[in-house]
Amino acid sequence: MTDAIAIALAALSHAATPVPAAASGDVPAASVWSLMLQGGVMMIPLAVCSFVVVAVTAERLTTLRRARVAPRSFAADLDTLLARGAAGVPDARVLCERSNTPLARIADAGLQRVGRPLEEIERHMTAAGEHELFDLRKRMRALSVVASAAPLLGLIGTIFGMIRAFRSVAASGEALGRTEVLAEGIYEALITTAAGLLVAVPALMAYHWLSGKIERLTRELDRVCVPLAERLASFAPNAKRGHAAPPEILHAESKSDAHPDTQPAASAGAMA
């Protein structure tokens, strides 16, 4: 009985003895900078990709605000000016020049051709809208490229790390049978995979979020510009009476009306 109690106390005392960190296999916490250094050379392009994502997202968030694309106040002021008919067109063009937003530039493309056929106004406003849509989507391709390329860059870094780990094991005869040597190499190799995913996921989310904002702004531009084109076409003086006479004909008719005795005198002279 005494021997059993002594053995039990010895076991408890051995269990209570603190184990050093190296013997327990605990890995010390690593900082972000140390992880980047351990990731190898592929961490450099991944770091560049992360800066691109942050810069493009911040720039697009600043640009794609409704107040800078299709402000509500501009649409209301434009509607008020055009309620005066064709007389309000010059003031409407001044308003577009002062606003200098995508909506204002599209509207000005139609105001420059007020009174023309509807097809011509729509054609020029559509061309201006396509140009503005291109500007709204500017730099969005960079986010798409980063979202697709970052995981591949991380995978390449992982493959390079695995190659180095197995090469070090094969080159050292003492490393055979020591799993900690191989585990250390794999641990360092997987850092680039994690870094690639950490860059790609935010880039993909930012791309789809900003694409949704662009679609909403495009629908707002269509909502304002489609009725505007029809309204500007209705200002044509001969919109319901067919095409107007060419300017040369009108000029000749006005001269003949102003001098009615010219043609009879000429015909009398010819008869004489």
pLDDT, position 35: 65
* Residues of the chain where predicted confidence (pLDDT) is lower than 70: 1-37, 39, 172-181, 184, 236-272
- Please answer whether residues 203 and 46 qualify as being in contact, where contact means their C-beta atoms are separated by less than 8 angstroms: no
pLDDT, position 17: 43
Of the candidates 246, 141, 153, 248, the one whose C-alpha atom is nearest the C-alpha of residue 203 is 141
94 Cβ neighbours under 8 A, 6+ residues apart: none
pLDDT, position 37: 67
Measure the CA angle with vertex 18, ends 16 and 24; round to 5°. 120
pLDDT, position 169: 72
HSE-CB for 22 with a 13 A CA cutoff:
0
Which long-range contacts (C-beta less than 8 Å, at least 24 apart) are formed by 18-27? none
Of the candidates 151, 184, 145, the one whose C-alpha atom is nearest the C-alpha of residue 165 is 184
Q: Is 115 exposed, middle or buried (0-12, 13-18, 19+ CB in 10 A)?
A: middle
Global pTM reads 0.69
Tokens, residue 111: 């105001």
45 Cβ neighbours under 8 A, 6+ residues apart: 153
Tell me how far the alpha carbon of residue 50 is from its chain's centroid: 16
Of the candidates 139, 149, 141, 143, the one whose C-alpha atom is nearest the C-alpha of residue 45 is 149
pLDDT, position 116: 87
For residue 214, give Cα distances in angstroms to 70, 132, 140, 218, 247: 11, 11, 10, 6, 44
